[in-house]
Amino acid sequence: MGLSIGLVGLPNVGKSTTFNALTKAQNAEAANYPFCTIEPNKATVPVPDIRLTELAKIVNPERIQHSTLDFVDIAGLVKGASKGEGLGNKFLSNIRETEVILQIVRCFDDENIVHTEGRIDPLSDVEIIENELIFADIEVLTNRIERLKKQAKNEKDAAAMMAFAEELAEFLAEGNLARNFPKADSEMYEKLMSETRLLSAKEIMYGANVDEDGLSSDNEYVQRLREHAAKHGCEVIKLCAKIEEELVGMEDDERDEFLRDMGVEESGLEQIIRKGFDKLGLMSYFTAGVKEVRAWTIHKNTTAPKAAAVIHNDFEKGFIRAEVIGYEDFIACGGEAKSKEAGKMRLEGKEYIVQDGDIMHFRFNV
């Protein structure tokens, strides 16, 4: 769907290892999306969804196909990226093309792995990266304000937007992210974002990279990162990047047992994919037949005809109605036929808003 999550981080924090684990997950599942072209810096990975497994137990299909999500490995960052230092220009241009930022933050001690800043301080790492986003945004806004000044001589709307942009620029200059601007829910903010695509306006998740001992309980670094994230409405996902690489090659039973021994229920990678999917405003509906049980990716609050178009454009053009069974009903009844007998299948029209987990068949005429 053209939506992606960008991985960012300072050197030696575990970003490359995390991306390598995602790439391995991509390769392991490549047969599930044979028509996807993978660029060297992109990993397209399946979205974990136990519901597909439960549906398959009932339907017994030939194959299962998950929704997928794109991760982009953003060029490494150093201080001064906003001024072109290091690979700064590439970093900023790449991150502008993503919708969510996943910042990998080092939360472990290891004297054999040198930190570029000479110390382990997660909040300092976060500040370095987010300051570069803010500096780049201030430059973009300053240029926008200059253009608006010229337009404001003849256009009333331009004058109002200029004042709004100046207020936002002052907010950024105080070290704040655009996403935390008090007027971020206004129409003017939305219009300005569509024109400027500010980097610090994007959703942010933090990947707290710990060592093996840090998985079962939060160390001091993770606690500090969680406190910071809570203040800014961001998500923290704890992972051990080194272990995530090992997990990808394991069979399901072996992996589950390994995670239980580590004192965790779900791998960090699975959490990142699942929560990233949600942060992008995405959800899945299902089709369930003997050929295939499949998850189809749509935006939340999508109508039935638009959801049908994800399968084929003709489904939307000739949409008549949708046959819908809720996931819980499908499982409780033991399949489509018994769901129909129990009166759990509904016929929905063009205005129906598809719900996460709906099992759907579309009636159409072209």
Residue 39 has pLDDT above 70, yes or no: no
Question: What is the predicted pLDDT for the residue at 118?
Answer: 66
CB within 8 A of 311, min separation 6: which ones? 287, 296, 362
User: Is residue 306 marked as binding?
Assistant: no
Question: What is the predicted pLDDT for the residue at 89?
Answer: 56
Rounded-to-integer distance, Cα 182 and Cα 81, Å: 27
Question: What is the predicted pLDDT for the residue at 75?
Answer: 67
Rounded-to-integer distance, Cα 310 and Cα 255, Å: 33
In the chain, % of residues over pLDDT 70: 89
For domain 4-48+68-118+202-279, which CATH number applies: 3.30.1360.70, 3.40.630.10, 1.20.120.160, 3.40.50.300? 3.40.50.300
Q: Which of 41-55, 196-210, 251-265, 291-305 has the lowest mean pLDDT?
A: 251-265
Domain ranges of the chain: 4-48+68-118+202-279, 128-200, 301-364
Rounded-to-integer distance, Cα 321 and Cα 314, Å: 13
Rounded-to-integer distance, Cα 337 and Cα 314, Å: 27
220-248 residue pLDDT tens: 999 999 999 998 889 999 999 989 888 88
User: Is residue 16 marked as binding?
Assistant: yes
For domain 128-200, which CATH number applies: 3.40.50.720, 1.10.150.300, 3.40.50.300, 2.40.50.1070? 1.10.150.300
Residue 144 has pLDDT above 70, yes or no: yes
Highest-confidence segment of 28-42, 105-119, 135-149: 135-149
Question: What is the predicted pLDDT for the residue at 179?
Answer: 93
Amino acid of residue 288: A
Rounded-to-integer distance, Cα 7 and Cα 17, Å: 11
CATH fold, domain 301-364, is Ubiquitin-like (UB roll) (3.10.20)
Q: Mean pLDDT, to the nearest integer, of 52-70?
A: 95
SS (H, E, C) 117-172: CCCCCHHHHHHHHHHHHHHHHHHHHHHHHHHHHHHHCCCHHHHHHHHHHHHHHHHH
User: Is residue 12 marked as binding?
Assistant: yes
User: Is residue 112 marked as binding?
Assistant: no
User: Is residue 15 marked as binding?
Assistant: yes
Q: Which residue has the higher pLDDT, 331 or 10?
A: 331
264-308 residue pLDDT tens: 888 999 999 999 999 999 999 999 999 999 999 999 999 999 999
Q: Which of 68-77, 98-107, 342-351 has the lowest mean pLDDT?
A: 68-77
User: Is residue 105 marked as binding?
Assistant: no
306-363 residue pLDDT tens: 999 999 999 999 999 999 999 999 999 999 999 999 999 999 999 999 999 999 999 9
Question: What is the predicted pLDDT for the residue at 9?
Answer: 87
Q: Mean pLDDT, to the nearest integer, of 185-194?
A: 94
